[in-house]
Amino acid sequence: MSSSRKKGLTTIRRLEEIPEFRDEAEEHAFWASHELSDALWSQAEPLAPEELPPPRPATTPVVIHLDETTLRRLQVLARRRHKGKEALLSELIRERLDEEERHESRRRVARKSSSG
């Protein structure tokens, strides 16, 4: 075993040992306790540009003040989903904005149809 190996990690020696993952959280949990062998790493080839994930959009830091209870709830949920609290909060805000925009759009359509 290489001296760079982390204690307690299961070493994957064949690609067939890597399961299919239902979601990113399951994959994250798996890789938190597993690592690829040096032999597998040596066989790895770089991904083609079209195989790479798209770059993340630029972000702007925002200061937000949360009460202790809300912050604690956010931290608990983030841990359950294997995410950082900032990433989860960003995701929740995007989801809620999508909901609000859909709701607003339906209200506009309803107003147009009732006024015509």
* pLDDT digit string, tens, across residues 2-28: 444 557 899 999 999 999 999 888 999
Tell whether 42 and 92 lie within a shared domain.
no
pTM of the model: 0.51
Whether 52 is covered by a domain: the verdict is no
Burial group, residue 81, by CB count within 10 angstroms (0-12, 13-18, 19+): middle
Whether 51 is covered by a domain: the verdict is no
| DSSP-derived secondary structure letter, 11 | E
Tell whether 6 and 34 lie within a shared domain.
yes
Tell whether 33 and 80 lie within a shared domain.
no
Tell whether 85 and 42 lie within a shared domain.
no
Total number of domains in the chain: 2
Whether 75 is covered by a domain: the verdict is yes
Print pLDDT tens along the chain (116 aa): 444 455 789 999 999 999 999 988 899 999 999 999 999 999 999 989 999 988 888 989 999 999 999 999 999 999 999 999 999 999 999 999 999 999 999 888 888 888 76
Helical ranges in the chain per DSSP H: 24-31, 38-43, 68-80, 85-115
Q: Would you give the end-to-end CA distance of the chain in angstroms?
A: 75
Residues 6+ apart with CB under 8 A from 49: none
Domain that holds residue 30: 1-46
Tell whether 12 and 64 lie within a shared domain.
no
